[in-house]
């Protein structure tokens, strides 16, 4: 390099500065561990020195800066979370920060909480006393708080990731005693949102049941998504319409476009032409978007949408000197600069991914107009979403493109403006009309969802997923480089991929991470059986996605051990989705077409199954009516007892004795002290005992007494609350195969490292 030549970075490299920085931030979340602090300045100095000779090294330096920035911000967010070791009742001073979410069991709200130690946290608190918690009100309370640790399965909702992405530091339950303090900032936008919510709740229905329609109006106008029933959210999933009820990029953009169009029409009718009319249009659109985002509570998705709109508006304003791709990268960089944790939000990838697909498919020009624009946009979104939805949710809503083509303009141009108008102008006929239209819309969607097909997408290997993503981009190119047939083959391989089947004579067992519930999948070479379904929310958000990811669409048998919500709460959803050929139940009177778990044996693919039964007694407790299933493969066995208590265990010992011997035991009643007696453990003599329980559950499962008994018998205790879903295989010589989700990143707590040393 010539020392007399002034240093400069070529213009061809400057265009890659933002992409490299963005990629660095994204890669920071893929680190399994944080390098030692000395590594960062050393790598920085090395790349800076290399940049003096090789200009491309500066791009690596920018990538390193992005990675360091992502780690720094994430570490700050982690330090603001509730400590793992502090799960006892705490004295807190709280201020209600958002509109409370109310159902028949509890009131839940976000609050800024100050601990007696002086630390401040953002907590998601629940009150089972169903008391009133006005926005901005301040209280002195005692609450049992714990960090946000949720279920970890192969696919499904990860509560820990969600909490980190949304700034939630912990969850807690408020005790019975509370003391009011001087109110905080009541005269703010959140208080206005609460007022709007109460107005909607008092909308007269004149003899009609418009409860769901009013709930939809609250969701679309002020972002109160909790107003919608869980059944409605389940209906949105197979239709691919969940994004229409969440105030994020789509609605904010549509409101901005509508406001910009109105400003444009107003300017056309003025007797004079103002200077820089484009600036007025941009200002009107962005102002409307900002106001709408404020009404929605300025949540993370709306913040991201405003930043994205502002960046694209800037690109449009400078259209002669800036490309559409430059606007896309600027928008993404702005979002990650202000909130790098947006990388963990599914909405980020859906929003930016679909916009990128549209730009890519239009060769970066976006000059197509009218119907052709809408059709190309829908086509690009459909192709791009195959890999996104398949990888993230393990399912593809097959009729989503058709439904969205109709629903997007209906929701964005009719229902949302009505919701905003009726919120701003509480005119009773207007509110009633809006609620009625929303109600009948939801009734139609509920009917349609019952027939909407979904295609399960198994968890494909990472290379196949990456190739499929590249193939979708290739398909969207105007000419496809002549490789479209090959691209379609790769995409089909991703969609139709199925994991390797179990060998004949072996039994693969997956103990789902079901929170404070139970769900165990048993697979032979050609058959599948699911033992219990956990609760309804867990079944929808974790059990069904994991079944999809494992390549299971139909169940040969479903066993419901007994009629308790933590064991059969998800029955309706699982039955509708998997259509089991046979249904067995410990209390068959509660389910249509269910057969009792009578004593019987059968064989699937050289694997033996047997229902064990107890002598019938009058007034037998629900828990002791649990189905008891034992399965044997290659001389190794698993025993599942549901919530069988010690009395039932004793009767089981008298009936079967040493025939209960099994290598794997699913502890009764989630590890409660009411089960797993020493005599029972001694007779079954398992190598592994599994406690299916929720992290920090109020019952203390598995209890210290059970843990002591298990340890005293030399049994290895495995816990889903610590390790996530677990995998076993009988007939292979060593039953335990480790965690179902084997990898974790540095910012994740669960699976906890202690359990990674077991295997």
Q: What's the CATH class of domain 89-185?
A: mainly beta
Separation of alpha carbons 47 and 55, rounded Å: 10
Question: Is residue 123 classed as helix, strand or coil in its secondary structure?
Answer: strand
H helices present in 269-399, as ranges: 277-295, 300-317, 324-338, 346-361, 371-393
Which of 648, 655, 699 shows the shortest CA–CA distance to 676? 648
Domain boundaries defined on the chain? 11-79, 89-185, 197-456, 462-495, 507-614+621-756
Task: With H, G, I as helix, E, B as strand and everything else as coil, classify residue 691.
Answer: strand
Q: What angle do CA 650, 655, 661 make, to 5 degrees?
A: 80
**Average pLDDT value over all residues in the chain:** 86
Encode pLDDT of 264-281 as tens digits: 888 888 887 777 788 888
**Count of other CB atoms within 10 angstroms of residue 633:** 28
Q: Which residues pair with 611 in a beta bridge?
A: 600, 629
The token pair at 168 is 């939630």
Does domain 507-614+621-756 fall under CATH 3.60.15.10? My reply is: yes
Q: In sequence order, what are the residues at sequence separation of 6 or more whose Cβ sits closer than 8 angstroms to the Cβ of residue 363?
A: 477, 478
Which residues of the chain, if any, have pLDDT below 50?
1, 366-368, 755-759
Taking only the tens place, the pLDDT of each residue in 724-740 is 999 999 998 899 999 98
Output the pLDDT for position 9. Answer: 57
* pTM of the predicted model as reported, rounded to 2 decimal places: 0.87
CA torsion 339-340-341-342 (nearest 10°) is: 70
Among 663, 649, 667, 563, smallest CA distance to 612 is for 649
Nearest to 674 by CA among 717, 642, 698, 697: 642
pLDDT of 236 reads: 87
* 3-state SS track over 149-216: CCCCCCCCCCHHHHHHHCCCCEEEEEEEEEEEECCCCCCCHHHHHHHHHHHHHCCCCCCCCCHHHHHH
- The gap from C-alpha 524 to its chain's centroid, in whole angstroms, comes to 29
Residue 447 burial (C-beta neighbours within 10 Å; 0-12, 13-18, 19+): exposed
- pLDDT score at 614: 86
Specify the pLDDT at position 710: 95
């Amino acid at each position: 390099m010539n020392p007399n030549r002034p240093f400069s970075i070529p213009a061809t490299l400057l265009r890659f500065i933002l992409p490299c920085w963005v990629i660095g931030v994204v890669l920071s979340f893929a680190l399994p561990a944080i390098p030692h602090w000395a590594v960062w300045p050393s790598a920085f100095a090395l790349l800076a020195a290399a940049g003096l000779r090789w200009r491309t090294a500066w791009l690596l330096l920018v990538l390193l800066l992005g990675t360091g920035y992502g780690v720094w911000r994430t570490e700050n967010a982690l330090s603001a979370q509730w400590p793992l070791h502090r799960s006892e009742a705490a004295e807190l001073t709280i201020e209600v920060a958002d509109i409370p979410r109310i159902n028949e069991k509890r009131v839940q709200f976000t609050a800024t909480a100050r601990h007696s130690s002086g630390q401040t946290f953002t907590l998601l608190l629940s009150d089972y006393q169903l008391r009133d918690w006005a926005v901005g009100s301040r209280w002195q309370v005692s609450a049992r708080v714990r960090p946000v640790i949720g279920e970890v399965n192969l696919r499904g909702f990860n509560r820990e990731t969600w909490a980190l992405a949304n700034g939630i530091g912990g969850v807690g339950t408020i005790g019975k005693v509370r003391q009011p303090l001087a109110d905080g900032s009541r005269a703010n936008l959140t208080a206005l949102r609460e007022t709007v919510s109460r107005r909607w709740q008092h909308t007269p229905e004149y003899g009609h049941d418009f409860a769901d329609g009013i709930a939809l109006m609250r969701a679309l106008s002020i972002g109160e998504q909790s107003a919608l029933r869980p059944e409605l959210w389940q209906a949105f999933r197979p239709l691919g319409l969940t994004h229409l009820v969440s105030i994020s990029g789509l609605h904010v953009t549509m409101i901005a476009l509508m406001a910009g169009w109105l400003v444009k029409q107003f300017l056309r009718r003025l007797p004079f032409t103002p200077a820089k009319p484009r600036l007025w249009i941009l200002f009107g659109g962005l102002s409307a978007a900002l106001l709408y985002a404020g009404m929605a509570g300025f949540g993370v998705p709306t913040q991201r949408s405003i930043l994205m709109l502002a960046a694209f508006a800037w690109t449009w304003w400078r259209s002669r000197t800036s490309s559409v791709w430059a606007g896309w990268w600027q928008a993404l960089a702005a979002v990650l600069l202000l909130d790098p944790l947006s990388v963990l939000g599914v909405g980020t990838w859906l929003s930016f991914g679909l916009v990128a697909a549209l730009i890519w498919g239009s060769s970066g020009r976006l000059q197509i107009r009218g119907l052709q624009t809408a059709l190309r946009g829908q086509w690009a979104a459909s192709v791009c979403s195959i890999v996104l939805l398949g990888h993230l949710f393990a399912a593809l809503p097959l009729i989503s493109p058709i439904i969205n083509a109709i629903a997007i303009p209906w929701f964005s141009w009719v229902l949302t403006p009505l919701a905003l108008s009726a919120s701003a102008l509480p005119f009773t006929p207007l509110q009633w009309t809006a609620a009625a239209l929303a109600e009948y819309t939801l009734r139609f969607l509920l009917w349609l969802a019952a027939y909407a097909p979904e295609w399960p997408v198994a968890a494909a290997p990472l290379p196949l997923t990456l190739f499929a993503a590249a193939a979708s981009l290739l398909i969207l190119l105007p000419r496809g480089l002549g490789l479209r047939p090959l691209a379609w083959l790769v995409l089909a391989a991703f969609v139709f991929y199925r994991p390797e089947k179990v060998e004949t004579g072996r039994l693969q067992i997956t103990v789902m991470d079901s929170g404070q519930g139970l769900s165990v999948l048993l697979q032979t070479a050609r058959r599948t059986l699911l033992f219990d379904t956990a609760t309804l929310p867990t079944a929808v958000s974790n059990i069904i996605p994991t079944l999809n990811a494992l390549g299971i669409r139909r169940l040969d048998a479903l066993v419901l051990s007994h009629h308790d919500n933590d064991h059969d709460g998800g029955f309706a959803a699982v039955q509708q989705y998997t259509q089991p050929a046979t249904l067995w139940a410990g209390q068959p009177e509660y389910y249509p077409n269910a057969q009792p778990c009578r004593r019987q044996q059968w064989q699937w693919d050289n694997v033996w199954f047997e229902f064990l039964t107890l002598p019938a007694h009058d007034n037998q407790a629900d828990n002791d009516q649990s189905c008891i299933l034992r399965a044997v493969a290659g001389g190794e066995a698993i025993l599942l007892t549901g919530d069988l208590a010690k009395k039932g265990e004793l009767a089981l010992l008298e009936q079967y004795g040493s025939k209960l011997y099994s290598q794997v035991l699913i502890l009764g009643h989630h590890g409660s002290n009411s089960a797993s007696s020493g005599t029972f453990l001694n007779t079954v003599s398992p190598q592994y005992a599994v406690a299916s329980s929720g992290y920090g559950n109020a019952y203390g499962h598995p209890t210290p007494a059970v843990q002591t008994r298990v340890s005293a018998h030399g049994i290895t205790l495995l816990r889903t609350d610590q390790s996530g879903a677990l995998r076993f295989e009988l007939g292979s010589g060593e039953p335990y195969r480790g965690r179902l989700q084997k990898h974790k990143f540095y910012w994740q707590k669960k699976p906890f490292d202690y359990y990674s040393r077991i295997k």
